[in-house]
RNA sequence: GGUCCGGUAGCUCAGUUGGAUAGAGCAGCAGCCUUCUAAGCUGCGGGCCGCGGGUUCGAGUCCCGCCCGGAUCACCA
């Protein structure tokens, strides 16, 4: 890399010119801003205490020295305290040539070290996936891919919350009012069917509570004593006791939900290496709690509930087991974490979970540490912001929840509508066009969500998300299709670009800026992996596509008369399309050959 | 009230460890298709970077205080 070579040279320069030994970190090398001449810029302000000279004088001296000593530097200029260096076109060309020859440009080979286990999705089996899960799934999947690209071993896991009071509510409602309905008999997707019964339970329960309040009962008391909730609680106790009938119904209804989830996941393009079920981990959690109780790390209240005191850690007291002995969310998560650690001995246990649960994960880490688990330090909560709608948050009671399946369907449908208005695909087979609309619709959705920094609350405006112009997934897909079209035409004309002829070329401005952007790709992947931020990949892809479009408009490729230049531009186009594919692949977005 | 996160153009968002005159897209206006895909390109207008102090040669970025918005502090998950 030219940057490290420059740092080395600057260290030497400072030593010769100013007789000073310095650490390389003092040299700030950045890309020259486009309004100035040059490729790379050295900020000389921090060096003034070494030179004891004015900024311009220091910059000039260093520039002169670098010109003489570093062959890649072909010129420099100084503006205020900024030393702008011009890097030889031959350097960029040789970079380009070697990058093209690489098998996985931008990716690092997998390192031999413990894996990162990343959990995402984490659905409940009482309701279908919605917009919030969409952000979660896309983020988790993409971060996993980015980490892999950066050389990590990654295990993608899902944690299905398949047990608990909420599932009992759906089960109870189905028993009471379902009349034996199934996905098969109703033709409804299993997760939707079960979700409907959960909603039905809530409705009937609310009615009961209201009835009790009308009879003069206190509202809080009514909420606890309504017959339906008592029945649900009883069912949960039976479930934990292993009651055969309850377990049978539970298994059946969950299987409906899983079949439904699978369809959603598949369309969304996310997958998992392993799936954990809370029904299989909560006992392990309970065991951990008992052990902690024996060792006096936790304590029991008179009513039998078990707690962990975290007031010394600046937190509160936390419930770990209910008075009736059933487990809570935290109990399960303790067990799941332990199991996951035992399974993989990972360097990091990552959880992609919304920021509403920041406190929960802080507590989880502390409780595990209290239990003496040193690996708890490897727990990392990748906390992302909520997705809001133009009219505020999603509220199931107000019917503003955006269903994941419907959302994807709508995106594909809009892609179809827009495409047919442009009237481009008359020669496509129905399969080809369906495939394309899916690619465009899902690409728009994924890009819209992933381009926002994960930790920020984001606004999901359905109309804007479906827009195909500007900073969108479609823009990048279009750029790719455009490049592929040129390459097809070249091939049809019998042109096979020769990369031996480009050595002596002098680069046009747009050619050089395109190469420089391609040069940034590996460090962009690295930075995105460090920051766990697919947004950085999205922004890079957009920059690259935009730069290519400018190149495309300013210079002709196939009509270029000089065959060396023509070939070079073809190669540059081809490589750009490849990097776009790689980058967007990290976001789970496919790029079409035509659109 | 305690803790955590955010506040950048009318709207949605970028802005590396502090560096040059704070950038995109959308929306608005004006241009560019007999030439490789106009889902594109070019130009114009639009900003007390929430407010006030501080550190620094230099602050959207770091520190302190305040204002506003959100999350959380459940025998819900």
Q: Output the pLDDT for position A426.
A: 75
* Same domain? A361 vs A477: no
Burial class (CB in 10 A: 0-12, 13-18, 19+), A346: buried
Would A413 be classed as within a structural domain?
yes
Strand B and A353 CB separated by under 7 Å: no
* Same domain? A458 vs A562: yes
Q: Which helix (H) or strand (E) holds A74?
A: strand A73-79
| CB half-sphere exposure, A17, CA atoms < 13 A | 24
* Same domain? A355 vs A437: no
Strand B and A301 CB separated by under 7 Å: yes
Strand B and A345 CB separated by under 7 Å: no
End residue of a domain, out of A44, A64, A87: A87
Would A591 be classed as within a structural domain?
no
**Nucleic chain B: which protein residues 100-119 of A have CB below 7 A from it?**
none
Strand B and A77 CB separated by under 7 Å: no
**Nucleic chain B: which protein residues 404-443 of A have CB below 7 A from it?**
415, 418-419, 422, 424, 440
* Same domain? A71 vs A36: yes
* Same domain? A294 vs A334: yes
- Domain holding A14, by residue range, is 2-87
Q: Which residue has the tokens 């106790």?
A: A237
What CATH number is associated with residue A353? 3.40.50.620
Would A194 be classed as within a structural domain?
yes
Strand B and A495 CB separated by under 7 Å: no
Q: Output the pLDDT for position A334.
A: 95
Rg (CA), chain A: 30
Q: Output the pLDDT for position A541.
A: 97
Query: Which residue positions in chain A have pLDDT lower than 50?
Result: none
Closest CA-bearing residue to C1' of B40: A549
What CATH number is associated with residue A486? 1.10.730.10
The pLDDT tens digits of the residues spanning A169-204 come to 999 999 999 999 999 999 999 999 999 999 999 899
Contact A42, A9 (CB under 8 A): no
Q: Distance, angstroms, CA A448 to C1' B64?
A: 37
Q: Distance, angstroms, CA A446 to C1' B16?
A: 25
**CA torsion, ordered A185, A190, A196, A197, to nearest 10 deg:** 80
Q: Output the pLDDT for position A192.
A: 95
Instruction: Residue A320: name the closest of A309, A582, A62, A97 by CA.
Output: A309
Would A92 be classed as within a structural domain?
no
Give the closest nucleotide to A236 (alpha carbon vs C1').
Answer: B75
* Same domain? A137 vs A178: yes
Contact A458, A487 (CB under 8 A): no
Give the integer Cα–Cα distance in Å for A437 and A423: 13
Would A570 be classed as within a structural domain?
yes
End residue of a domain, out of A335, A359, A388: A388
Strand B and A328 CB separated by under 7 Å: yes
The total number of structural domains in chain A stands at: 3
The pLDDT tens digits of the residues spanning A471-484 come to 999 999 999 999 99
What CATH number is associated with residue A31? 3.30.1360.70
pTM exceeds 0.90: yes
Q: Distance, angstroms, CA A550 to C1' B42?
A: 10
Phi, psi of A131 (to 5 degrees): -55, -40
Q: Output the pLDDT for position A392.
A: 76
Would A105 be classed as within a structural domain?
no
Q: Output the pLDDT for position A398.
A: 67
């Amino acid at each position: 890399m030219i940057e490290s070579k420059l740092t080395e040279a600057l260290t030497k320069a400072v030593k010769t010119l100013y007789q000073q030994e310095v650490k390389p970190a003092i040299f700030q090398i950045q890309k020259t801003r486009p309004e100035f001449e040059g490729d790379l810029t050295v900020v000389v302000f921090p060096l003034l205490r070494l030179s004891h000279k004015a900024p311009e004088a220091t910059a000039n001296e260093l520039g002169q020295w670098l010109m003489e000593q570093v062959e890649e530097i072909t010129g420099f200029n100084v503006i205020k305290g900024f030393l702008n260096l011009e890097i030889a076109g031959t350097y960029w060309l040789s970079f380009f040539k070697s990058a093209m020859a690489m098998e996985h440009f931008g990716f690092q080979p997998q390192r031999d070290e413990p894996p990162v286990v990343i959990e995402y999705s984490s659905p409940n089996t009482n309701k279908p996936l919605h917009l919030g899960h969409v952000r979660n799934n896309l983020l988790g999947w993409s971060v996993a891919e980015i980490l892999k690209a950066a050389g990590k071993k990654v295990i993608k896991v899902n944690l299905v919350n398949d047990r608990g009071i909420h599932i009992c509510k759906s089960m109870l409602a189905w028993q009471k009012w379902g009349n034996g309905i199934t996905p098969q008999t109703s033709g409804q997707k299993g997760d939707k069917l079960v979700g409907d019964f959960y909603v039905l339970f809530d409705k009937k329960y609310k009615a009961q509570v209201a009835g009790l309040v009308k009879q003069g009962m206190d509202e809080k008391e009514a909420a606890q004593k309504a017959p339906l909730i008592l029945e649900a609680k009883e069912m949960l106790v039976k479930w934990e006791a292993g009651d055969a009938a309850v377990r049978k119904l539970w298994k059946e209804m969950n299987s409906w939900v899983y079949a439904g989830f699978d369809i959603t996941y598949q369309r969304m393009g996310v997958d998992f290496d392993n799936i954990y079920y809370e029904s299989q981990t909560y006992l392990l959690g309970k065991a951990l709690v008992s052990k902690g109780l024996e060792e006096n790390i936790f304590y029991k209240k008179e009513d039998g509930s078990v707690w962990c005191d975290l007031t010394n850690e600046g937190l509160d007291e936390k419930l770990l087991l209910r008075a009736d002995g059933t487990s809570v969310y935290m109990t399960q998560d303790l067990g799941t974490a332990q199991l996951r650690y035992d399974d993989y001995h990972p360097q990091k246990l990552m959880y992609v979970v919304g920021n509403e649960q920041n406190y929960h994960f802080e507590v989880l880490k502390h409780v595990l540490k209290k239990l003496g688990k040193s690996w708890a330090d490897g727990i990392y909560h990748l906390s992302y912001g909520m997705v809001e709608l133009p009219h505020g948050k999603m509220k199931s009671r107000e019917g503003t929840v955006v269903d994941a399946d419907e959302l994807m369907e709508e995106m594909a449908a809009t892609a179809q509508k827009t495409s047919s208005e442009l009237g481009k695909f008359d020669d496509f087979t129905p399969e080809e066009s369906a495939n394309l609309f899916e690619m465009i619709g899902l690409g728009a959705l994924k890009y819209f969500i992933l381009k926002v920094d994960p930790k920020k609350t984001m606004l999901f405006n359905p109309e804007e998300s479906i827009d195909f112009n500007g900073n969108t997934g479609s823009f990048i897909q279009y750029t790719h299709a455009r490049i592929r079209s040129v390459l097809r035409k070249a091939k049809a004309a019998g042109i096979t670009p020769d990369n031996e002829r480009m050595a002596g070329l002098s680069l046009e401005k747009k050619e050089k800026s395109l190469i420089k952007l391609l040069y940034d790709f590996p460090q962009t992947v690295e930075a995105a992996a460090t920051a766990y931020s697919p947004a950085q990949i999205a922004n890079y892809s957009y920059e690259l596509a935009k730069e290519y479009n400018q190149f495309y408009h300013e210079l002709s490729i196939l009509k270029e008369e000089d065959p060396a230049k023509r070939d070079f531009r073809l190669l540059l186009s081809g490589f750009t399309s490849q990097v776009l594919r790689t980058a967007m692949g990290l976001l789970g977005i496919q790029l079409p050959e035509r659109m």
